[in-house]
Amino acid sequence: MRATKAIIHLENLRHNIRLVRRHIGPDKRICMAVKADAYGHGVHRVVQVALSEGVEYFAIATVQEGIDIRTEGVDAPILLLSLPLPEEVPEVIRYGLTPLVTDRLFLQVLEEAAAAQGRRIEVHLKVDTGMGRIGCTPQEALELAAATSASRWLRLAGVCTHFPVADLPDNPFTTAQIRRFAAVVDAIRVQGIDPGLIHAANSGAVLGYPASHFDMVRPGILLYGYYPSQEQPRSLSFLPVMELESRIVFLKRVPKGTPISYGMTYHAERETTIATIPIGYGDGYSRLLSGRGEVLVRGRRYPIVGRICMDQLMVDLGSDSPAELYDRVTLFGPDPEGPDAERIATLIGTIPYEVTCDINKRVPRLYTDREEKPRPTAFPTAPPD
């Protein structure tokens, strides 16, 4: 196997699920967001571990993502968070995915496709209380809920909404959304309609807005070990699940002034040792980290120098590094000595979500499932099996 790999620490995923469970209490369900291949971690193993930890619902974005999970033998409800095209709806029904109802027109598309297959399907009503993305207005919700529950082919199994700024603590907009959403749910109940599972909370709301927990929460990023934003108090210790690592494949001593990589944007400032690592933007490790990123070798951080190439990057080890050829190099992960995906996100102006999602298919995923803390900082030279 090539030097560059993503080690997926399933024991950290278990830890994060248990932390969320303890935080929300035993009577709430967890719907785990596993879209985009479980935020880049590999959906199949993530779903299996989540099921074994009592997660009851999964949320994905595309019909194909839902099919991929269903055909692995997962019986749990799979919520389709994004809207499919009408021509994709027959597959939604065939694979027993749970779509969102957002308007009359789409309700009709769902109904006709369900009728055509003679299958009654579960749907969730999506109310837009302020995200501005998809969903009906709070004013339309009651009528749509009534139309759904009156349908022979649809069963209203849930009502949900989504928050744009739940990652900001004590934000009045989020509080107002929760109130608006609760009023919609009440109005549905008052009409004698069973709204099914009420859910709203993404990771930010799970942490900061207990009133948003309702029957079920929908965290993603927290379960992969990161806070949704810098603003949140770090009250719980989530552990990063993905560890991106590689090895040193070339070492050289260079004199002061030696140019390094494309564009020759960097010249050695003194005599130093330069290591070449076989990872680049072709693996989804952002080129924006050129001259900014850092890596961990033998418990120490070293800067990336010169431009990151498609398949390789260079690191300045300085003059006194104990690093040797074929040493393990950590690009990001749970080791507190080294960078994590949040640190990388900060360096290049994005969010940890994008950092883990971007690690692409060229990087093999290796799974560990030890019920223990992440590896100590002094790395052994040999990679894990």
Ligand X SMILES: *Cc1c(COP(=O)(O)O)cnc(C)c1O
At closest approach, how far in Å is the CB of 41 from ligand X? 12
> Looking at beta carbons, which residue is closest to ligand X?
220
- Report the distance separating Cα 153 and Cα 151, nearest Å: 5
- In angstroms, give the least distance from the CB of 177 to ligand X: 13
The candidate with the shortest Cα–Cα distance to 381, out of 248, 271, 208, is: 248
- In the complex with ligand X, the residue whose CB is nearer, 353 or 379, is 353
Going from the C-alpha of 176 to that of each of 41, 106, 139, 161, 209, the distances in angstroms are 34, 28, 15, 13, 11
What are the tokens at 66? 């839902």
Token pair for residue 242? 């993905």
All residues at 6 or more sequence positions from 272 whose CB lies less than 8 Å from its CB, including other chains:
253, 254, 316, 317, 318, 319
Q: Least separation, in Å, of the C-beta of 353 and ligand X?
A: 6
User: What are the residues binding ligand X (CB under 6 A)?
Assistant: 33, 81, 162, 202-203, 218-221, 228
Cα–Cα distance, 28 to 350 (Å, whole number): 31
Measured from the CB atom, the residue of 327 and 340 that comes closer to ligand X is 340
CB of 208 to ligand X, least distance (A): 12
Q: What does the buried/exposed string (b/e) look like for 213-237 if buried means 16 or more CB atoms within 10 Å of the residue's CB?
A: bbbbbbbbbbbbbbbbbeebeeeee
Q: Which DSSP string do the residues of 82-107 spell out, in sequence order?
A: SPPPGGGHHHHHHTT-BPEE-SHHHH
Catalytic residue selected from 252, 262, 361, 373: 262
Burial of 123 (0-12, 13-18, 19+ CB in 10 A): buried
Closer to ligand X at the Cβ: 16 or 290? 16
**How crowded is the C-beta side of 260, counted as CA atoms within 13 Å?**
31
Contact 364, 6 (CB under 8 A): yes
Q: Is 35 a catalytic residue?
A: yes
Which among 35, 39, 209, 266 is annotated as catalytic? 35
Q: Tell me whether residue 161 or residue 330 sits nearer to ligand X (CB atom).
A: 161
DSSP-H helix ranges across the chain:
10-24, 35-39, 43-52, 63-70, 89-94, 104-117, 138-150, 172-190, 203-208, 341-348, 352-358
Tell me whether residue 170 or residue 371 sits nearer to ligand X (CB atom).
170
Closest separation in Å from C-beta 352 to ligand X: 10
Q: The tokens of 99 are what?
A: 């779509």
Residues in the chain, total:
385
252 tagged catalytic? no
* Closest approach of ligand X to the CB of residue 200, in Å: 8
130 or 228, CB closer to ligand X?
228
Catalytic residues, by residue number, are 35, 262
